[in-house]
Amino acid sequence: MALFLIGAAGDQAPYLSAVRTTVDDAGTPRHTDAQESGHVLAELLGERLADEAVRVGANIRTAAPTAPLQVIHDSVRVPAQVPPAGLHTLRPSTHYGFVPDGTTDAPFVVARIGETVLVGVQAELDAGTGKALKAASPFPATCVVTMVEGAATYMAAADSYDRITYGAMNSRYGKDSAESVTARILDVLRSLPRESAGHHLLTRKQIPSGSWISGTPK
C-alpha cells in the first residue's frame, strides 16, 4: 500500500513554474507565461518526485508491528478571522486589516503505526510549523500531513501575521491558531504510551479530554 500525502505546504511552491514574474529597471513587474510548454516543467517535477520516492522506498526496512493501529480524532478551538472577499483583493502590502470573527474548531487526526505517527489537519500548515511539530514529537518518525478529511485553506504561523504574508491574509484562522493546534497535538502525542509490547489499546483515561480513539489489533 502506498499513500500520497501532502505535507506542511502552506508556504511552499514548485521551484519551476510556467508563470513567472520579473521586474524591469523601472520597477515595473512583468508576467511571463510559458503556456503549453509549461507541461514539460510539470513532467520534470513529477519525474524527480517519483525518482526520490523510489530511492527512499528501496531503503525502507519493515518490521512486524507489536502494537495495534491507533487513530485519535480531536479538535482545537482557535481564533477565527474574516477571510478575504476574493483572491483579487489580496496584494503585497505593509498594512492589512485582520478582522476577528470569534472562534472556530480546527479538527485533526493522529494515526499511530508502531513508532510512526501521521498527524493530519484540514488546513495547510507552514513548513516551519510542521518542522517544529516533528522536532518536538516524542516519536522517532512523525509525518505532518495537511488537507486531511477536508480542506480549510491556510493556517499560518503567528509571525506570518506580523509580516502580512499571503497565507495569513488568505485564511479564516486568526493569529496563534497554528501554535494552539501544535500544542494540542503534542499533548496527544506525549500521552501515547511508548511501550509497544503486546496488543495494548489506549483507554479514554490515557488520552487528554475531548479526544476519541479507535484501535484495530493486528
Domain boundaries, the chain: 69-216
Q: What is the pTM of this model?
A: 0.80
Q: Which residue has the higher pLDDT, 25 or 75?
A: 75
Sequence-distant (6+) residues with CB within 8 A of 7 are: 127, 130, 143, 144, 145, 146
Q: Average pLDDT for residues 66-83, to the nearest whole number? A: 91
Q: SS3 for 141?
A: strand
Answer for the pair 176, 129: CB distance below 8 angstroms, yes or no: no
End-to-end alpha-carbon separation of the chain, Å? 16
Give dist(CA 16, CA 161) in Å, integer. 27
177 φ, ψ to 5°? -65, -45
Give dist(CA 121, CA 102) in Å, integer. 20
pLDDT (0 to 100) of residue 1: 75
Q: How many residues does the chain have?
A: 218
pLDDT band of residue 128 (cuts 50, 70, 90) is very high
Provide the residue type at 141 as one letter. A
